[in-house]
Structure 1
Amino acid sequence: MRKRNIQQEIIIILSKWGYEPVSENELLKPDNINCSLLYRKNLYFENLFNIEIFINFTDDSLLSYPEIYISEAQMDKLRARFPHIYNPIPHLEPSKIFYKDNELFSVCYQLHDSNIVPRTNLFMLMNIVETYIRNYFYKIVDQQQYIKEYNEYFIGIINLLVTCTDSSKESWILYSPEENIILDNCSQKLKKILSLKINDNYNPDFTVLTNHKKQLTITDFFNFLRLWDKVAYQHFIKLLKKNKLIYNILISSKNFVFGISFSWIRNETKGLKHIDNKKLLQNPVKFHIVHKYDFKSSILRNLPNEFRQGLFDKKIFQIGLGAIGGYMADALIKIGAGFENDFIIIDNDRLENGNVGRHLLGIEYIGLYKAEAFLKYINRQTLDQAKKIRGLVENIREYSYQYFIQNKIDLIIDATGSIEVQEYVNEMVQDIPLQYRPIILHLWIYGNGECVQGLWVHPKEQQESGGCISCLGSSGIGLYNQYLPVIDADVEQRIGVCSAFTPYAISEGMMATSLGINMLLEWIATGKVQNNYQTRYNSKYSDKKIEDIKLVANPLCPMCGEKNV
């Protein structure tokens, strides 16, 4: 097979599209930026205007789109032709490349995460690039669209200021907006900081800051703030007068939030205008991106519309925090459990050294009860935002059907993988009146991990046509032959300290969790799980497999036998 000469293909397509090469002798750039495939072209926008653009294939493997630049001179030309355009122009960032003494500014694509790069069709690639560039500049020259784009581009402007003022690019996580508490990146501890509230009706003019070629100082921020909001500016002066030490300030309004930091160690015995304190005004200011930490928003962002409500409106009761239960509980929280309604997890075992190899929880939790350890883990992951989670050091034998009548639960998840627990839960639930009876989801690993299985038992469906864990088999005889996922399984057992255990890899607990979450999402989207007895095999297993089925009453089942038809 002939190997592609991608570089040659790029040169040919650029020539066909009217681009001319740029000599590296015309450039001033850092050594780490590749400009061997930098080309330029005048792009015409009907009879309105034209712009010289530069295209740079920095990645000749074509795993990403090329960079697009326009020069500072072209930006001046745009501003002269369209007076509503002012610095910083949205989605343009300095590239550190200079062409004939003019700095080139990179156009942010907003394509890289959403468009597949058509590596094998360079004509299509060029069409995508130029279509986007045309759409971008049509937006910029339209005054109404420019204002909208500018307001939405706030985070990009702050990013630019962060790049200019803080080489470490330290961001802040805003844990509690009401109390101005951030998570300190260095200490990983929460701390309260000073806050400056801006009038929601005012928009900032960042040109005061972005037009600077030097290090930004407290004085520069003074001037910027005075133009933005005079009341906030006066409050800022009061903060400087009142506080001997200031390092971090949160700047916020309805539309904007960012942080600034600077050194302010003033002489308390002197006024703000005294020379000792006036010197401090030349101290550098650093800008910081502020991430509003909202775990719920993160969940909603990732759920497709058909699963949009997730588990926020459901009360969940999970049994077991072992190899399946740890991953399952973590995943349930990431689709909404424990934020607005109760998520109760019970397990009375401690995490032991031998558990760590296939458990969500790591070595730092060894010796702790799993329920308490998981609560510590998840509170740290969510910064205590999942306030309805309870981890209880209890055994399911301590619960009876009366509990579930008095405490309405939507779903019981049995993640123990124990047939004894499966039977006990099934027997207990049958005593609950139908109007209070929760759905049960049983999850387990079969054998040494040849497959994982799940059974979804909806009370109304069981009432009508049967289908419960006892329809599959019992602790006395195992699964009935027709439901066996693996025929003649030779299950390996090992002896531990005062106990036996079944070896299987970490992947099986994860696979069981994946199966369970998919069944849950089907229920959230459609109100039911069509095939309620499901099996997922590992990739190594190649013998006879069973299909997912709708389990109905088995005549041998003590709970559902009479419903068999």
Structure 2
Amino acid sequence: MTASRLALALRKLDELGFKPIKRPGSARCFVGELPCARGPVKVRFEISDWEFTTYPTLIILERPPFLPALTPHVSGDGFQCYFVQGRVVLDRYRPDNAIWQCVEQARRELDRLSGSPIYRAREFEQEFGATWEIGQHPLPIPVLLADVTGDGAVPCFGIGADVGLYIIAASNEAQVKALAAARGWPSPTRRKIGTYIVRSAKSPTVPNERLPATIAEVFTWIKSWDVAAMRRIHAVLGQREWLGFNAVQFLIESPAGWFGFFFDLNPNRALAHRRKPSGYRQHLYSKGRELPIIRVSVRQISPDFIHSRNLQFPSLKDRHITLIGCGAIGGYLAQALVKLGAGSGAGSLRLIDPDDLAPGNLGRHVFGMDSLYKSKAVALQEALIRQFPHAQIVAEPRRAAYPSDIAGDLVIDATGEEAVSEAINANRHSVPSAEGARVLHIWIVANGEGVQALWVDQRKYACFRCMRQNDLARSKRFHVVDHEPETRIAGCNAYTPYAISAPMSASALAIDMIIDWLKGDVSPRFRTRSIEGADIRKIKNQNVSPLEGCPGCSLP
């Protein structure tokens, strides 16, 4: 930052009543007051990034009486979060205004939090995961939550890694082992921690003073906002099973997200009450004010969470997808399909390709030298399972078989070979459905000037063969380029050169059409995309009508 701009920033801080102080570290620190509506709040303002790519830090030094002890966006150490990171861009060229924005936003937020119980309660619910960590030292124990079925008991595993111990709750031990193998961690071991899932349809309410720190406080608090959830906890504590553990944790799902709490068991008392567990339960109720808990931070790692978190529509979970062609287009497309949920739940992803990865493929394929001369299908399967070990992915290094491979919820033709596309199209009627199999064809135009896709699912729309005229030359029905693409000869083989952007663009087009299918309407079924400046005709994206007399629209 230039000296003149720095001077502007320092002048603004002085105008706002902030005075510089010396503290260890590289940040420049200032102390002042926020002029809140109900009284001043003494704070420290720290700037370590004068580019303003991150926001200045604001710490409340003296909590005023009007600010509740439990306040969303304010940590136990007084750190206030006043902007969602990245939501507001501070102007590095006007540092005086950037500083004013931060100070003013912090003041406004404290006014809202202290003046409106409704706003405070809403913010508490929306930020519950972060709020659950306030005031506990050390921070809450992180528990990784994989797939869990129903309510009640669920196995608990531990994985020792370089960064420490991971605690994982999962119904399926194989899922935990696969995660450990994918990360190169040691094999998981069962932990003697009784772990119980409790689900609530109600959102937690704001505690009066602080988050619960004892068994009595957490039981009273849960009962205050969901009596049914507390009854389920009460029922668990009436069973013998939990007394066989060293500790117990309850993981609770609510509309505000997952959270939990953990407490140790007294081994002697647990042994004494094995025949009558309600006796230990009564001890928890009667002595609960003296028995501490540790709040648990729950971090979901289940396939449902991973593949649905960023979506506003259903994922590919439980769908059976067949991808024919694992080359340049198919490699990128397969990765996107798995991220979209293919192979999760009861679904599967089949990868079919007869070829190995040759040196000439590496310049435009998703893989590199580490997969040289490996089967494209197998290399893709192995890579995807390393990334998503829960996915059900089958590699079949062979040519497509007709009609047996034309099956499932969706068949994707990413071969870029018209003869194969014709065969897939001709055999789609083998599916026992009035409309035939659902097929998506995706291909690259010429030398990468554009990409096209055709979705075939109903007889009232064009099939792949409808894209050619019925003349002897099989003329294209929609002319995209007027010139012949460059083709290069290598021995008895030929290939069409195109840059890496072409298969990536084709994959993106295919995924967009699949997303539209998941949303309920895949129209327009025929789509063209071109690169800027390409010598290519503009083709309207549309639902194409069948070609009269098309042989592919009839049964083979």
Report TM bin, short chain. Answer: 0.5 to 0.7
Counterpart selection for 1:471 from 467, 477, 496: 467
Q: Which residue of 2 aligns with 1:278?
A: none
Q: 1:399 to 1:367 in 2, by over 3 A?
A: farther
Instruction: Pick from 32, 49, 56 the counterpart of residue 59 of structure 1.
Output: 49
Q: Contact 2:318–2:343 at 8 Å: present in 1 too?
A: no
Q: Which residue of 1 aligns with 2:387?
A: 381
What residue identity is the alignment partner of 1:347? Answer: I
Pick aligned residue for 1:395 from 379, 382, 399 = 399
2:415 matched to which residue of 1?
A: 416
Q: Return the offset for 1:479.
A: 6.9
- Flag the 1:4–1:339 CA change in 2: closer, same or farther, 3 A: farther
Uncovered stretches (5+) of structure 1, i.e. residues with no partner: 80-84, 96-104, 211-222, 272-284
TM-score normalised per structure 2: 0.68
CA, structure 1 residues 174+130, in 2 after alignment: closer, same or farther (shift >3 Å)? same
Letter paired with 2:17: E
Q: What per-residue deviation string (whole Å, max 9, x for no partner) do you get for residues 64-91 of structure 1?
A: 33333221x2x15336xxxxx33x5432
Secondary structure of 2:109's partner? helix
Q: Distance in 2 between matches of 1:393 and 1:450?
A: 27
Choose the corresponding residue for 1:20, options 17, 24, 28. 17
Name 2:259's counterpart in structure 1. 257
Q: Is the 8 A contact 2:466 2:547 kept in 1?
A: no
For residue 92 of structure 1, what is the aligned residue in structure 2? 74
- 2:325 counterpart residue number: 320
Kindly provide the CA deviation profile for residues 48-104 of structure 1, in whole angstroms up to 9, marking residues without a partner as x: 444334444432223333333221x2x15336xxxxx33x54322366xxxxxxxxx
Q: Retained in 2: the 8 A contact 1:56–1:68?
A: yes
SS of 1:165 mapped into structure 2: coil
Amino acid at match of 2:540: I
2:74 alignment partner AA: L
Q: In the alignment, which residue of structure 2 is the partner of 1:35?
A: 28
1:224 aligns with 2:214: yes
Partner of residue 331, structure 1: 336
| Structure 2 match to 1:518 | 512
Cα deviation, 1:120-147, whole Å, max 9, x if unaligned, reads 6665873575245423442245445545
TM-score under structure 1 length normalisation: 0.67
RMSD (Å), alpha carbons: 5.1
Q: CA deviation at 1:487?
A: 2.0
Q: Find the counterpart in structure 2 of residue 70 from structure 1.
A: 60
Q: 1:225 to 1:143 in 2, by over 3 A?
A: same
Q: Does the CA-based 8 Å contact 2:36-2:107 persist in structure 1?
A: no
C-alpha distance in structure 2 between counterparts of 1:453 and 1:134, whole Å: 51
Query: Which whole-Å deviations, capped at 9, do the CAs of 1:276-317 have from their partners, x for residues lacking one?
Result: xxxxxxxxx99874312133234333224xxx1344586533
The answer for the alignment partner of 1:441 in structure 2 is 440
**3-state DSSP of counterpart to 1:134:** helix
Partner of 2:481: 485
Matching of residues 523-538 of structure 1 within 5 Å? 523-525=517-519, 527-530=521-524, 532-537=526-531
1:514 CA drift (Å): 0.8
Question: How many Å apart are 1:4 and its aligned residue?
Answer: 9.0
Equivalent residue in structure 1 for 2:352, among 336, 347, 350: 347
**The residue matched to 2:72 in structure 1 has which SS?**
coil
**Cα separation, 2, equivalents of 1:561 and 1:151:** 56
What is the match of residue 109 of structure 1? 82
For the pair 1:509 / 2:503, whether they are aligned, the reply is: yes
What CA distance in whole angstroms lies between the structure 2 residues aligned with 1:489 and 1:108?
57
**Any conservation in 2 of the 1:346–1:396 contact (CA below 8 Å)?**
no
Aligned positions, number: 484
State the distance in 2 between where 1:206 and 1:239 align. 34
1:559 to 545, 551, 554: 551
Q: 1:69 to 1:319 in 2, by over 3 A?
A: same
**1:292 counterpart residue number:** 300
* 1:64-213 aligned within 5 A: 64-71=54-61, 73=62, 75-78=63-66, 85-86=68-69, 89-93=71-75, 105-119=78-92, 123=97, 126-127=100-101, 130-131=104-105, 133-143=107-117, 145-146=119-120, 149-150=123-124, 153-157=127-131, 159=133, 164-165=137-138, 171-177=142-148, 179-181=154-156, 184=159, 186=161, 188=185, 189-193=187-191, 194-197=193-196
